[in-house]
Structure 1
Amino acid sequence: MVLDVRSEQVAGEHFDVVVIGSGFGSAFFLHAFQKRRRARVLLLEWGRHNSHAWQLEHGANTDLKDEETYRSNSPKPWNYTIGLGGGTNCWFAQTPRLHPNDFRLKSLYGVGQDWPMTYDDLEPFYCQAETIMSISGDPDMATIMPRSMAFPQPPHRMSTPDRMMKADQPDQHFVMPTARARLATQQRPSCCASLRCWLCPADAKFTANNGLMHVFEHPDVAVCLGSEVRRLDHAAGSVRAVRFRHGGKEYVVTGDLFILGANGIQSAAIMLRSDLDGEFVGHGLHESYGWNMEVYLDGVDNFDGSTITTGLNFGLYDGDHRSRHAAALVYFENRWQHGLRPDKGRLRQTLPLVIVTEDLLEAENSVRLDENDNAFIHYKGPASYAVEGMARAREKLPDLLRPLPVEKIIDRGLRRTESHVQGTLRMGRDPTDSVVDRNLVHHSFRNLLIVGTSTFPSCSCANPSLTAAALSLRAASLIM
């Protein structure tokens, strides 16, 4: 292992595998790949390695601001972390699986695009990802998302409103599955419920620093930090080399297999700069669509759960309505993001909720290149499918909450971002509908794999990181 090898040391060298980026897609791919075969690997990471101690000292996940790495025609933020471990540093560690019917949106409901695989195809790799991250989860979720293995850790403690909802709706209200440890592991203490998950003060949240450093410290892996990949050189249907910048200079390395695992914005920009700009490259940028609500309760206290988000309610998720408007998932919060209730003796009688709907991939929402060949986002807004789904969910919320003594529901407004960049290099059956196949291999350049959430062909309501990890584990298992 050479962590932070100098660019001059690798310039002109040939590697068996060149990996671009180090977030969920790349790290989980390497985790599985290293168990299958020996190979000389170079990992190129634009950011630096910021330890957990560094992040706490500086109050930041990285020293490279994401908003400085792209331009946009829209004020909407697209959050991501550039640094060793990528989004494992900043995520909140919410780990629901996709619903089985999320994979069949087109065939079941006539909208969007089907995944080129089923839930059953991915299920064993969900289990592997959950094991690696020691996921805490509710076994009752198997009624909606069948499981071949139990969750590695027991569920977090529910709040009082969660317990009331689950008692009345046991088949649709569940404890949030999470990579925030319920019980201490060898590497991580239990969740402290401090509500600062983007930078966990206790280091209870799974990150690259406490759970994946073996991937980067492997003796076959050289990690070159501060290296911004600009383009892929290709000829005769094969990627041949990577060009990257470090310290104002450009370097080139060659390789046999290339893994593109930058985020959905930067991976698309790399493809566009490389003249790998097919019909779907960069198009379909999206994330789920979120709304904040707050419920005043009559005589019931909240905030007695053991982690930041305690419950998930699927009552508005699946069904025939998805042929007309989006599914909705309701998150029950154990944090006072709108402040405590300003009534004497009733400070905790309030329940913050987040409603999240799926969105559709629309060509106009895209990553392009600006005059300097850097990422430029053109975003017109969510699809009407998502907006109408949110309107339906807000309308039906009072009925969903009937097990609770609801005094008043307060609309707290649109959430600016869910921090889940997806869809710019989608997977599918063939080049007529996608960029990569079901194994994440580029349709035309068969020594190029694209990993991470950029490959998602549709947008679930559920947080995408677990699925990104599972997809990478599956892709690596198929490498001979």
Structure 2
Amino acid sequence: MKGRTPTYPLEADVVIVGAGAAGAVMAARLARAGRRVVILEAGPRWNAGDLVSSQIWARRIKWGGPAVLPGGEDPYGFNMANGWGVGGASLHHYGGWPRMHAEDFRMRSTYGQGLDWPLTYADLRPWYDKIQEEVGISGDAVAETWRPPGAPYPLGPMAVFNQGALLRRGFEKRGLRTAPYPAAILSANYKGRPACINDGWCDAGCPLMALANPLALYIPQALEAGAVVHEHCRARRVLADGRGRRVRTVEFVDADGRAHAIRARSVVLAAGPVQNVRILLQSASPASPKGLANGSGMVGRNIAAHVMVPAHGFFDDKTQCHLGTSGAQLICQDHYGKRRADGAFGSVTWAIANALKPNDLLGIANTRADLMGGELHRFMARAAHHLATMSAICETVPSARNRIELGPRVDRDGIAQVRITHTLDEQARALATFAGREALALFASAGSRENWLGQRGLAHLAGGTLMGEKATASVTDSFGVCHEHTNLLIAGAGLFPSVGAVNPTFTLHALAARSAEHVIKQWSSLAA
């Protein structure tokens, strides 16, 4: 970008902020419908050749923007699970794509906890089916006895290596069922994309494009249909008309610090829960003094994240723990029921047999971060051949006290800091404790004589721009259209009123496809 003066369009039918999963799905569909689509992406533009299977190089596609400030008793670590550049976080996501369950959509009605969605599983089911056919999900729907109704997966399951087979034995001995993990990764060649080679480098991005990500699918489709992507463009504000009912302009800053504006008939914020909230709050005006779409005061509120409980153990047999995918080889949802006698509440999904590399945050070395020097060297020599791992994905209930808000400073481009405040409630802590106890018992049943729990972490941030039926208690309707601004949409996991115990990427794809279809059908009334 330096040394040249890029030109930017002065207007578009649709401006999409963010070139991650949700933005890419929206862009492809709207561009194919004949809309002039401009995508603004804060980070760089990547291609397949940039995705080098190295833990050091992999850090380039993690968050590279301004630091997000942590807060609360259980701070959310923003950088690792977020993306930087065209493709967003889904460029390096692990491809675990289970569906949310029907009860996840009716939390308040069924359990008196959290909030209901303004749609049901039945409403989203056709979009799950459409998306899985487009991207190519590998799995075994029959073996997933817990899976809600839907079309069979288009591809057979991914390979199971020794690590998965050993851990499966522990589940079987405790009377628990497993199935191949449903993965947005190709187990066979599919629609011009090659099959996965199971080398376990998903965290660094997939240069083969066997792993479904925006570079493999929806960004090329959008570009072919005429959409334009502008990288290194940081959205600053969205400006509404004098009455505040319709948005008109997106302000952004380029790589050289120059400010620009694009007039738009419709705007889609698809920059992730944190940056979407930042843009809305920073777009305050006399007509919207608390920020765009924030008459209810709900922007930034009711966030949630999964508690991840990792467990590890040694086996006498070789585990081949470097092979497979970063996500998992097997899944178990026998603990998906939400009520428990010990006071814990929420669903648990077991992601079994993750591929491991030597170091970095989720690597072999950090399974024993207390070891140093020769002791670490001996541990690594053994673990490289005999270690196995799995994680419990534990549900939490969104809370208004967990929030995203503007920080105290504004940078030289006029873009505000952001703070995430997050504290787990007691029932979430109890659920994580249950999962830890169960994990150690499962390892012991599998034949591991030495096993331990890793450090709990948080992943898959959602909420902050909730969808809902009432404008007084939510930000958007079920299609992501803001209650207060008829041509402003939100896309992505920020819409989720609950998170279940599954990775969010499949669901946010389905929601984005549903929203895009709504915009296409209602264009004359939605667009300014």
Q: TM-score, normalised by structure 2?
A: 0.81
Amino acid at match of 1:88: S
Match of 2:308 in 1: 290
Match of 1:361 in 2: 398
Q: Would the alpha carbon gap of residues 190 and 84 (structure 1) be closer, same or farther in structure 2, given more than 3 Å must change?
A: same
Matched position secondary structure for 2:446: coil
Q: Does the 8 Å contact 1:7/1:224 carry over to 2? A: no
Match of 1:18 in 2: 15
For 1:476 and 1:137, how far apart are their aligned partners in 2? Answer: 27
The offset of 1:30, in angstroms, is 2.3
Q: Would the alpha carbon gap of residues 411 and 113 (structure 1) be closer, same or farther in structure 2, given more than 3 Å must change?
A: same
Identical columns (%):
23
Q: Would the alpha carbon gap of residues 71 and 347 (structure 1) be closer, same or farther in structure 2, given more than 3 Å must change?
A: closer
Match of 1:256 in 2: 265
Match of 2:333 in 1: 314
2:435 to 389, 393, 408: 393
After superposition, residues 326-341 of structure 1 pair within 5 angstroms as 326-336=346-356, 337-338=363-364
The offset of 1:132, in angstroms, is 1.7
The offset of 1:239, in angstroms, is 0.9
2:511 to 463, 471, 478: 471
Greater Cα shift, 422-431 or 329-338: 329-338
For 2:203 and 2:136, how far apart are their aligned partners in 1? Answer: 18
The yes-or-no answer on 1:39 pairing with 2:49 is no
Match of 1:239 in 2: 247
Amino acid at match of 2:43: G
For 1:273 and 1:410, how far apart are their aligned partners in 2? Answer: 45
Matched position secondary structure for 2:83: coil
For 1:471 and 1:248, how far apart are their aligned partners in 2? Answer: 34
Q: What's the C-alpha RMSD, in Å, of the aligned pairs?
A: 3.0
After superposition, residues 102-121 of structure 1 pair within 5 angstroms as 102-121=104-123
The offset of 1:352, in angstroms, is 0.9
Match of 1:77 in 2: 77
The offset of 1:24, in angstroms, is 1.0
Q: Does the 8 Å contact 1:99/1:145 carry over to 2? A: yes
Gaps of 5+ in 2: 285-291, 357-362, 368-377, 522-528
Matched position secondary structure for 1:312: strand
Q: Which whole-Å deviations, capped at 9, do the CAs of 1:182-207 have from their partners, x for residues lacking one?
A: 11235433222222212245522222
Q: Would the alpha carbon gap of residues 392 and 253 (structure 1) be closer, same or farther in structure 2, given more than 3 Å must change?
A: same
Amino acid at match of 1:437: D
Q: Would the alpha carbon gap of residues 109 and 6 (structure 1) be closer, same or farther in structure 2, given more than 3 Å must change?
A: farther
2:215 to 204, 209, 216: 209
Match of 1:425 in 2: 465
The offset of 1:294, in angstroms, is 1.6
Q: Does the 8 Å contact 2:98/2:503 carry over to 1? A: yes
The offset of 1:402, in angstroms, is 7.8
Matched position secondary structure for 1:265: helix
The offset of 1:403, in angstroms, is 5.9
For 1:437 and 1:270, how far apart are their aligned partners in 2? Answer: 19
2:200 to 171, 195, 203: 195
Amino acid at match of 2:87: G
1:377 to 419, 424, 436: 419
After superposition, residues 85-104 of structure 1 pair within 5 angstroms as 85-104=87-106
Amino acid at match of 1:238: R
Q: Does the 8 Å contact 2:171/2:178 carry over to 1? A: yes
Match of 1:180 in 2: 185
Greater Cα shift, 163-172 or 357-366: 163-172
Match of 1:229 in 2: 235
Matched position secondary structure for 2:248: strand
Match of 1:302 in 2: 319
Aligned residues: 470
For 2:130 and 2:480, how far apart are their aligned partners in 1? Answer: 18
The yes-or-no answer on 1:461 pairing with 2:463 is no
Match of 2:24 in 1: 27
Match of 2:47 in 1: 51
The offset of 1:211, in angstroms, is 2.0
Matched position secondary structure for 1:209: coil
Match of 1:139 in 2: 141
Matched position secondary structure for 2:388: strand
The offset of 1:343, in angstroms, is 11
The offset of 1:444, in angstroms, is 1.2
The offset of 1:8, in angstroms, is 3.6
Q: TM-score, normalised by structure 1?
A: 0.88
Greater Cα shift, 81-90 or 163-172: 163-172
Matched position secondary structure for 1:410: strand
The offset of 1:179, in angstroms, is 1.6
The offset of 1:349, in angstroms, is 5.1
Q: Which whole-Å deviations, capped at 9, do the CAs of 1:314-335 have from their partners, x for residues lacking one?
A: 1222143398522222111143
Q: Would the alpha carbon gap of residues 324 and 429 (structure 1) be closer, same or farther in structure 2, given more than 3 Å must change?
A: farther
Matched position secondary structure for 2:461: coil
Q: Does the 8 Å contact 1:266/1:375 carry over to 2? A: no
Q: Would the alpha carbon gap of residues 231 and 146 (structure 1) be closer, same or farther in structure 2, given more than 3 Å must change?
A: same
Q: Which whole-Å deviations, capped at 9, do the CAs of 1:109-150 have from their partners, x for residues lacking one?
A: 111111111111111111111122111112225532234321
The offset of 1:173, in angstroms, is 1.6
Gaps of 5+ in 1: none
For 1:376 and 1:110, how far apart are their aligned partners in 2? Answer: 31
Match of 2:66 in 1: 68
Greater Cα shift, 463-472 or 146-155: 146-155
Amino acid at match of 1:271: L
Matched position secondary structure for 2:454: strand
